[in-house]
Amino acid sequence: MINIIKDVDLFNHFSEYDAVLIGTNTYCTMSQGIQLKVMLEYPYVYEKNLETKYADPEKLGTLLECKSEGEPTFCLCFITNSYNFRPDLNNVYISYESLEKCLKLVNILYRGKKIATTLLGASKFDGNGDRDKVMEIFKDTITDVDLTIYDYEQKSRNEYIKEWYFKEKEMKAIDKKEYYKMVRKRKQEADERFKKNGHRRY
């Protein structure tokens, strides 16, 4: 069964599922969109990813389950052998064949489980593929899993930072006391994030 939730960020719902699928590339980069959020907040996923061979095309179409006690279970789906630095020039870089292979494995390994994902391969950060084609692959492969697809526009690191900046700027013009509270909270959360993952605040 496939359920679709529109315009809701999957990041806030990880705990509701047995596992969460994350589309990624073979270059061990998780620098944008939901991949970035997972890398920053759940470092065991990034560490597990780094154990794989960098840019290895053999990873395409395979899964990497990432677990840590008391934390959500993630499953990295290797669906592209490219990291697209210029999506404006290279429009589509997903491997549809790899997506199909990954989802067939998901259908077997997580049979009867409650799984969540984004529309894998359709984001500009994990393949920039054709949404209709991606959805067709999901419908053709997922038959034995209770799958929820969170269909929303993922944001880049710069977009997240701009959001914080403009919210803080707006508050500064209204209430400086609240503005300073917002800044302190953001910095505190960033410091905690850095302690957790050991290499990045944002």
Per-position pLDDT tens, the chain of length 202: 999 999 999 999 999 999 999 999 999 999 999 999 999 999 999 999 999 999 999 999 999 999 999 999 999 999 998 765 565 666 899 999 999 999 999 999 999 999 999 999 999 999 999 999 999 999 999 999 999 999 999 999 999 999 999 999 999 999 999 999 999 999 999 999 999 999 999 9
111 contacts 72 by C-beta, under 8 angstroms: no
pLDDT tens digits, 120-132: 999 999 999 999 9
pLDDT tens digits, 131-156: 999 999 999 999 999 999 999 999 99
170 contacts 135 by C-beta, under 8 angstroms: no
Q: What is the pLDDT of residue 89?
A: 66
Q: What is the pLDDT of residue 91?
A: 84
The 3-state secondary structure of the chain reads CEEEEECCCHHHHHHHCCEEEEEEECCCCCCCHHHHHHHHHCHHHHHHHHCCCCCCHHHCCCEEEECCCCCCCEEEEEEECCCCCCCCCCCCCCCHHHHHHHHHHHHHHCCCCEEEEECCCCCCCCCCCCHHHHHHHHHHHCCCCEEEEEECCCCCHHHHHHHHHHHHHHHHHHCHHHHHHHHHHHHHHHHHHHHHHCCCCC
Rounded Cα–Cα distance for residues 153 and 33 (Å)? 9
* The 63-66 sheet, strands edge to edge: 2-6, 146-151, 114-118, 19-25, 74-80, 63-66
